[in-house]
Structure 1
């Protein structure tokens, strides 16, 4: 993302460093884990609003769940292979400066 300052015309940017993207697995539950890094020049992220485009896999069955929408910060579905409810609940985040 590139944004131009209206006052000084300076270009500021935030880039996702694609080689740093990591999965968040069931064993990571209840703890913070770095899942992506950004290169920030002149901008600083202050909030994150998860939306559509997430994916998950059943921990025991390997069942794929695609196009997960986390706009409400919760998601649930049913895994036919294990005959159990599955879900992602209480999504939280934090930004850490490196």
Structure 2
């Protein structure tokens, strides 16, 4: 789980956000890296939060589905929250724009293609068609009689705290991949402790996508986990995790 975080200096405007509606979706543009082989795709990739694609070998869908050319594994990501507005009183603190559920991939860079919108702090004047790709923007608020601007724009990615995600899924099936050996566990989440150690029951083990047997009750230490997610959108096969 990742959050795309915006930091900027706003002058005279507030409520900065991408223009993102079902009628006119915003296409979020990223550089993507495979977490299995660490290969970074050379081209930018774009997707929006309204369109979904089938995940091969699964009944699930995601906003973005990608097959790594290096290791041939299929990964996915979906926008699960946002977009959120950047307010004037958030100056330089950083605000989460969107939250992303990433499975087998990471986003390493963001490019602000597309239109953004904001409004004047005092006048409420709407500003549309804002281009943040140059990392600065200037205009004039006729109602307020003053110049407005957005400067010092930067983008970062922050990992989301997975604990609330897991606590809400006690009693449901999860897929957990370890950091080494292409080892995955599929089981029902029994509990999670304050150190983020995970207890699974009715656990099945898979190595290189092949089932190796049933382990029953398994405790997995948090520092051994590469990623985890709900099993409802993932299928384990002898061809690998999809």
| Alignment TM-score, normalising by the size of structure 1 | 0.89
3-12 or 40-49: bigger deviation: 3-12
**1:17-37 CA distance string (max 9 Å, x none):** 2x4321101111121122210
User: How far off its partner does 1:7 sit?
Assistant: 4.0
> Alpha-carbon deviation of 1:73?
0.5
- Segments of structure 1 that go 5 or more residues without pairing to the other structure are none
Q: How many residues align?
A: 97
Write out aligned runs for 1:17-32 (5 A): 17=80, 19-32=81-94
Equivalent in the alignment of 1:14 = 77
Structure 2: state its 5+ residue gaps.
1-63, 161-242
Give the number of the structure with larger relative contact order, counting CA–CA contacts within 8 Å between residues 6 or more apart: 2
* CA distance 1:12–1:86, change in 2 (3 Å): same
1:79 to 136, 141, 151: 141
Q: Aligned partners of 1:3, 1:82: CA distance in 2, in Å?
A: 47
Residue in structure 2 matched with residue 53 of structure 1 by the alignment: 115
Matched, 1:42 2:104: yes
CA drift of 1:67 comes to: 1.3
Distance 2:110 2:90 in 1: 19
Moved more, 60-69 or 28-37: 28-37
Is 1:69 aligned with 2:131? yes
Q: SS of the counterpart of 2:89?
A: helix
Partner of 2:155: 93
More strand by share: 2
Aligned-partner SS, 1:27: helix
The two structures have a TM-score, normalised by structure 2, of: 0.38
Cα deviation code 1:31-71 (max 9, x no counterpart)? 11222100101110111111221111111111111111111
Larger Rg: 2
